[in-house]
């Protein structure tokens, strides 16, 4: 639980959206554009189980299989 809270605290530096998360097929998504997240925070988020998702379909977010349950 502490690691999830730490990750969400990092994400809070980059968004104040009312609904910044969603779950789908056991994946937790955090709707924060990886391009705005510092390299240091991205590295820490990766160690916490959140990975940047950037593709050609303009999907720009982070995802975690560790914390997602749908």
> Tell me: the pLDDT tens digits for 15-68?
999 999 999 989 999 999 999 999 999 999 999 999 998 776 667 899 999 987
- Look at the chain and report how many structural domains it folds into: 1
Residue 32 lies in a domain: yes
By residue range, what is the domain housing residue 9? 2-64
Residue 42 lies in a domain: yes
Angstrom distance (rounded) from CA 13 to CA 11: 5
Whole-number pLDDT of residue 28 = 95
Read off the DSSP letter of residue 69: -
Residue 69 lies in a domain: no
Residue 70 lies in a domain: no
Residue 29 lies in a domain: yes
pTM of the entire predicted model: 0.90
Residue 60 lies in a domain: yes
């Amino acid at each position: 639980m502490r690691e999830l809270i730490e990750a969400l605290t990092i994400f809070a530096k980059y968004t104040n959206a009312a609904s910044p998360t969603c779950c789908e097929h056991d994946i937790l998504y955090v709707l924060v554009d990886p391009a705005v997240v510092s390299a240091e925070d991205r590295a820490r988020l990766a160690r916490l189980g959140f990975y940047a998702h950037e593709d050609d379909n303009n999907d720009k977010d982070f995802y975690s299989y560790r914390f997602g349950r749908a």
